[in-house]
Amino acid sequence: MKSDYRAIAIVDDDEDIVNLFTDLLRESGYDVFGFTNPLLLLDYIHHHNNQFRLVLIDYKMPQITGCELANKIAEINSRIEMVLITAANDIVKNNLDLELIIKPLRMHQLLHIVAKYMN
């Protein structure tokens, strides 16, 4: 696989959110992979660690928090850009100083955020 591959991963335990974001970004020309289980995403990145340019991470998931997931992704490949998406407004800081996007998220906001990291 090419080391400059520029796909996007979306991980959220809400399947409807994953499908909505994935469809919107694919319609906008991006190569997108959706995951409802963050542990499956980690396994995928272990085997394809140069595939993703950006990972959009829901903060609150049953298996692992978004911050914990981001730390594990950074251990595998520190060049992957990550953004935390959350409905909680009590997240003040994360170890990686990731950008926080607060839900509800408008579709034009999502496209703007993705374009910023993908260009």
Is 1 inside a domain boundary? Answer: no
Give residue 93's pLDDT: 60
Is 86 inside a domain boundary? Answer: yes
Give residue 109's pLDDT: 94
Give residue 90's pLDDT: 61
What domain range is 55 assigned to? 7-118
Q: Which residues of the chain have pLDDT under 50?
A: 1-3
Is 53 inside a domain boundary? Answer: yes
Give residue 119's pLDDT: 86
Q: What is the CATH number of the domain that holds 68?
A: 3.40.50.2300
Give residue 97's pLDDT: 82
Q: Note the pLDDT tens digit of each residue in 18-37.
A: 999 999 999 999 999 999 99
Is 74 inside a domain boundary? Answer: yes
* Count of structural domains within the chain: 1
DSSP letter string, the chain: --TT--EEEEE-S-HHHHHHHHHHHHHTT--EEEES-HHHHHHHHHHSTTSEEEEEEES--SSS-HHHHHHHHHHH-TT-EEEEEES-S-----TT--EEEESS--HHHHHHHHHHHH-
Does this model's pTM top 0.85? My answer is: yes
Is 101 inside a domain boundary? Answer: yes
Is 78 inside a domain boundary? Answer: yes
Give residue 33's pLDDT: 97
